[in-house]
Structure 1
């Protein structure tokens, strides 16, 4: 974990430098610290907006980097609550808002006004859930996945019809329920560009597909024990990648619901790994 945080902490700027004497790339690294304007050296998450600005979440607030200088933004609505809202774990951009999962739960930052703003939740009970959100994942069509220790919910973000500025979260069903309850801690979500979804957190992976109205419908469990113990999951061009504590697995999705293991990398030791290709 410490090594992982050190990697995130260092912003890597890659440029290609070509000389006449040798045709090779030179990688230039610049490390940003509090001396450059970071609110905290412990940067926990990074996202890039549509204009190219880099946004960093840290244990003391939010930073924006334009390639030259760093701006800082802190939640300051109440002295006590500010400490917890400024401890950022995950960030995602939907439209012109940055959504943050913090120690105090979900918060929202307006990129245009550069201010933290309030939001409203519609169509769902249990408002306490939003104070437990620790991980965010962007979906399609202004959707946002909210993940707590053992629960996953899906919302669609729209602007308020009253003033057009306050964002409103509309709860979306995941199959026939508004809340996916996992058997294991830290469930994961993977999505593709068509809106297909895979969720871990049980012995099996749960798969969902959007219907003609865009509603997620349960399409079955992948009952081959590949869903248990998943540390992270990612979809890429017809393949599903799953990271476990001791190995990395790559599955090819055939005919929409058949999963074939084609590669596995075992994490035997920090110095050695074994690759199995099928």
Structure 2
């Protein structure tokens, strides 16, 4: 039988630990604060930001939120980011994506100081990851690593196929896995003979944004499957993996929802706490 990995349970455990550490920090006079910046009225973005803000408050952190209209200019958003960057009460800044079309997301993200980049998306944060230096890592890849660790799945020497090359998940995840001693193959939806890559893997992580891309033909018996994708369908949420086909084939698999998703918010809380601590140190040092 295939075991379902309960990401919600693991995430709750992480968030409870963060709340305990935040309470201890507050007694010492330091309360972490997360600033979320939402531009426009995208319904999905509003739901995601609301969930993040709720997690912030539950952790005992300060909740700073800025809502800008959809017609906001590059200069408007930049001014808000600069204001939050200068505010010592703000430990981390999260610019919710996607942004309205008139805005240059990459330029705005890079205005966030590396010490407050809780999404781990700035060029500076990517450089720290590539060099193996201490920094704030993207939340979803970090959540995948935490899931695997919580399940006791050894990464050192494991063969891992990362299906997806994106800057948010695939590429940073590959680097995190390499640092843990895994042998990593990177593929994507355009890979010729994708099953030849994924069936050789002990762990398959799928993060392409292509619904139902991976099925029984892609997974070797006994493999662990992590499904990062999430898609709204008339029948509910679905992932990048045709999970029903893998029952009895995969050893373990993450569900959609309730798998990687809750881990992303949990790691955002971890990053905000780390940012508060590292910001107080006033420097970034080698890991």
| TM-score, normalization by structure 2 | 0.28
Q: Which protein, 1 or 2, shows the higher relative CO under an 8 Å CA cutoff with sep ≥ 6? A: 2
Q: By percentage of residues, which structure has more helix? A: 2
Higher-Rg structure is 1
Q: By percentage of residues, which structure has more strand? A: 1
